[in-house]
């Protein structure tokens, strides 16, 4: 059986991705902070006995000590793919905010990408795949998104370096950069979904900034992530695949 480790697996894109891989017959290692919720998700997936749960913060080293113990105890021989979906958001101004607070999204997202990659690569064989979910913010700027955007841009560049270093080992590394996606993160700041706001409806649905005039569903991002880990993506590495409904082709 093939195994995939998915971070941020308890909601949004991570949850949709876990479901997609499980439907395709993979064993899924679910990594997120809420253990009870992860266990509920595990039992809801096809063949629940094939899936594993690791509860912890993906940006902390001790989480990967738990991962190693679990893999060794369960006799998992290799991890075939890593899909890093976990993230945090922030809305701190560049000037005037406490530096520690401004840095939190940057430190968490970048450290998480580095730590999870380092933890999984020793378990990967030739043909392994790593995909980091970044964002169109990695190439675009938006008010009060500087730390988040810097983090996503940094992960894109980290991905490129990793693709070079792992090429001789037969491991492919890419990133997927979504635009608007209908997930709980869309409601994280104000408690109501930005996708239902007058701003989004006027600028992106009624206006011309978003050609497809809607946010993506998490399953649509999961499909691209699955493709990059599958047999038809054997000559793609070091790339940022933008999945944004055409948002970044407009001005």
- pLDDT computed for residue 193 by the predictor: 81
Q: Are 126 and 118 in contact (CB under 8 A)?
A: no
Domain with 234, as residue range(s), is 3-249
Closest residue by Cα to residue 159 from 198, 101, 110: 110
- pLDDT computed for residue 216 by the predictor: 97
- pLDDT computed for residue 21 by the predictor: 98
- pLDDT computed for residue 212 by the predictor: 95
Tens of pLDDT, residue by residue over 198-211, are 888 888 888 888 99
Active site (catalytic) residues = 148
- Residue 143 tokens read as 């008010």
- pLDDT computed for residue 188 by the predictor: 54
Would you say residue 234 has pLDDT above 70?
yes
Would you say residue 108 has pLDDT above 70?
yes
Would you say residue 84 has pLDDT above 80?
yes
- pLDDT computed for residue 157 by the predictor: 98
- pLDDT computed for residue 199 by the predictor: 80
Quote the pTM value.
0.95
- pLDDT computed for residue 232 by the predictor: 98
- pLDDT computed for residue 191 by the predictor: 64
For residue 51, the domain's CATH number is: 3.40.50.720
DSSP conformation letters of 114-176: HHHHHHHGGG--TT-EEEEE--GGGT---TT-HHHHHHHHHHHHHHHHHHHHHGGGT-EEEEE
pLDDT higher at 122 or 186: 122
Tens of pLDDT, residue by residue over 155-183, are 999 999 999 999 999 999 999 999 999 99
Dihedrals phi, psi of 90, to nearest 5 degrees: -155, 160
Tens of pLDDT, residue by residue over 1-37, are 999 999 999 999 999 999 999 999 999 999 999 999 9
- pLDDT computed for residue 190 by the predictor: 55
Cα torsion 161, 163, 165, 167 to 10°: value is -160
Tens of pLDDT, residue by residue over 42-79, are 999 999 999 999 999 999 999 999 999 999 998 888 99
Rounded Cα gap, residues 139 and 178, in angstroms:
11
The count of structural domains within the chain is: 1
- pLDDT computed for residue 104 by the predictor: 96
Rounded Cα gap, residues 89 and 77, in angstroms:
35
């Amino acid at each position: 059986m093939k195994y995939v480790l998915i971070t941020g697996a308890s909601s949004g894109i991570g949850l949709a991705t876990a479901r997609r891989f499980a439907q395709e017959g993979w064993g899924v290692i679910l990594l997120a902070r809420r253990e009870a919720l992860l266990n509920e998700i595990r039992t809801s997936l096809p063949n629940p006995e094939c899936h594993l749960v690791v509860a912890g913060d993906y940006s902390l080293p001790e989480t990967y000590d738990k991962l190693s113990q679990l893999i060794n105890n369960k006799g998992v021989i290799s991890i075939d793919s890593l899909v890093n979906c976990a993230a945090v958001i922030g809305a701190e101004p560049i000037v005037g905010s406490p530096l520690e607070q401004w840095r939190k999204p940057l430190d968490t997202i970048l450290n998480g990408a580095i730590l999870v990659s380092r933890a999984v690569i020793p378990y990967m064989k030739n043909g392994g795949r790593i995909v980091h979910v970044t964002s169109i913010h990695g190439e675009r700027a938006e008010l009060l998104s500087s730390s988040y955007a810097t983090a996503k841009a940094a992960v894109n560049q980290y991905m490129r370096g990793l693709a070079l270093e792992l090429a001789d080992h037969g491991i492919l590394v890419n990133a997927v950069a979504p635009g608007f996606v209908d997930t709980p993160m869309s409601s994280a700041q104000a408690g109501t979904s930005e996708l239902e706001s007058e701003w989004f409806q006027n600028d992106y649905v009624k206006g011309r900034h978003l050609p497809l005039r809607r946010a993506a569903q998490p399953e649509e991002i999961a499909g691209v992530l699955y493709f990059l880990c599958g047999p038809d993506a054997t000559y793609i590495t070091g790339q940022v695949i933008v999945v944004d409904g055409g948002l970044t082709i407009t001005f």
